[in-house]
């Protein structure tokens, strides 16, 4: 298969899987809350089959038939972002299993960022498979030596766990959720312990900038989800390691 065809196939896969991620990001939190509360919760906004398969088109059609607010959860940005990221994986790693693994990594991070930004939930069903996958990918030291991957998972979880308890002791509030610990552990398993410091620094700075900008615009005082910024830093660290290391 020619390289342009591989790029096209990667883009189409990104669109399709991005559509699945959009659907999951809407229904998974509802399902989890229903299970946690132990009672039925009616799901709204049923999807037709064509919107499940091609949400970019479905979002366009829905936006014509209803208000943008009603169709807001079907925004096409996850599909378009994943199409671009999947092509970037081919550019970074070339066609092969490592590029496919990187696509799965990007898919998981975009999904978790979208879920957390909408519902402030990072369930184990999303974070733990990414962690185990990172350890499996690095069995042969493809991205980082296996000892560095294991240590990255341990340190990634432990650092945020310590920060959580120190912050809670001083303020009486929870600064982040346990899902953030597990996501950081997963990033450490993929990238290695050496990438955690710049990754957390970038995520923290990005979160601070967005939070301050929101307050300056008069936005509501509400918790800031951390997963989108961890996902941003994690994707940058995987895709552009020479520039990443040079920047930090």
- Summarised one tens digit per residue, pLDDT across range 79-102 is 999 999 999 999 999 999 999 999
Alpha helix stretches (DSSP H) within the chain: 3-37, 49-53, 55-65, 77-93, 97-119, 124-137, 146-171, 178-191, 196-216, 227-239, 241-247
Q: How far apart are CA 233 and CA 52, in angstroms?
A: 29
pLDDT value, residue 236: 94
Question: In terms of pLDDT, which residue wins out, 88 or 24?
Answer: 88
Question: In terms of pLDDT, which residue wins out, 129 or 57?
Answer: 129
- Summarised one tens digit per residue, pLDDT across range 28-61 is 887 777 776 654 444 444 545 444 545 555 544 5
Q: What percent of the chain lies above the pLDDT cut of 90?
A: 55
pLDDT value, residue 182: 96
Output the furthest CA–CA distance in the chain (Å, rounded): 59
237 contacts: CB under 8 Å, gap ≥ 6: 187, 191, 195, 198, 199, 244
In this model, does residue 126 exceed pLDDT 90?
Answer: yes
- Summarised one tens digit per residue, pLDDT across range 187-246 is 999 999 999 999 999 999 998 898 888 778 776 667 789 999 999 999 999 998 755 555
pLDDT-derived band at 136, boundaries 50, 70, 90: very high
Mean model confidence pLDDT for the chain: 83
pLDDT-derived band at 161, boundaries 50, 70, 90: very high
pLDDT-derived band at 138, boundaries 50, 70, 90: very high
Q: How far apart are CA 131 and CA 129, in angstroms?
A: 5
Q: How far is CA 131 from CA 81, 149, 172, 232, 237, in A?
A: 22, 10, 30, 17, 16
pLDDT value, residue 42: 46
Q: Which two tokens stand for residue 172?
A: 């009486």
- What are the structural domain ranges in the chain? 1-104, 122-248
pLDDT value, residue 22: 85
In this model, does residue 10 exceed pLDDT 90?
Answer: yes
Instruction: Determine whether 242 is exposed, middle or buried from the number of CB atoms within 10 Å of its CB (0-12, 13-18, 19+).
Output: exposed
Nearest to 190 by CA among 132, 243, 231, 248: 132
pLDDT value, residue 63: 47
Q: How far apart are CA 55 and CA 23, in angstroms?
A: 9
* Mean pLDDT within 157-183: 90
* Mean pLDDT within 146-152: 97
Measure CA of the first residue to CA of the last residue in the chain; give whole Å: 38
Residue carrying the six token digits 């990005």: 206
């Amino acid at each position: 298969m020619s390289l342009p065809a591989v790029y096209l196939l990667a883009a189409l896969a990104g669109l399709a899987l991005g559509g699945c991620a959009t659907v999951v990001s809407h229904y998974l939190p509802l399902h989890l809350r229903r299970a946690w509360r132990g009672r039925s919760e009616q799901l709204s906004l049923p999807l037709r089959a064509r919107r499940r398969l091609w949400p970019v088109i479905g979002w366009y059609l829905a936006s014509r038939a209803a208000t943008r607010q009603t169709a807001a959860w079907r925004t096409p940005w996850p599909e378009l972002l994943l199409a671009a990221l999947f092509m970037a994986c081919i550019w970074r790693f070339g066609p092969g299993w490592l590029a496919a693994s990187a696509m799965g990594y990007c898919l998981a991070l975009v999904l978790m960022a979208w879920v957390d930004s909408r519902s402030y939930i990072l369930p184990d069903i999303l974070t733990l498979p990414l962690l185990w996958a990172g350890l499996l990918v690095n069995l042969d030291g493809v991205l980082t030596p296996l000892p560095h991957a294991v240590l990255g998972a341990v340190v990634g979880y432990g650092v945020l766990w310590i920060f959580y308890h120190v912050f809670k002791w001083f303020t009486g509030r929870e600064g982040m959720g346990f899902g953030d610990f597990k996501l950081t552990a997963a990033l450490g398993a993929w990238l290695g312990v050496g990438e955690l410091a710049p990754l957390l620094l970038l995520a923290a700075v990005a979160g601070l900038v967005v939070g301050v900008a929101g307050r300056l615009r008069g936005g509501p005082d509400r918790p800031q989800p951390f997963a989108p910024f961890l996902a941003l830093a994690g994707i940058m660290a995987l895709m552009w390691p020479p520039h990443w290391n040079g920047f930090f």
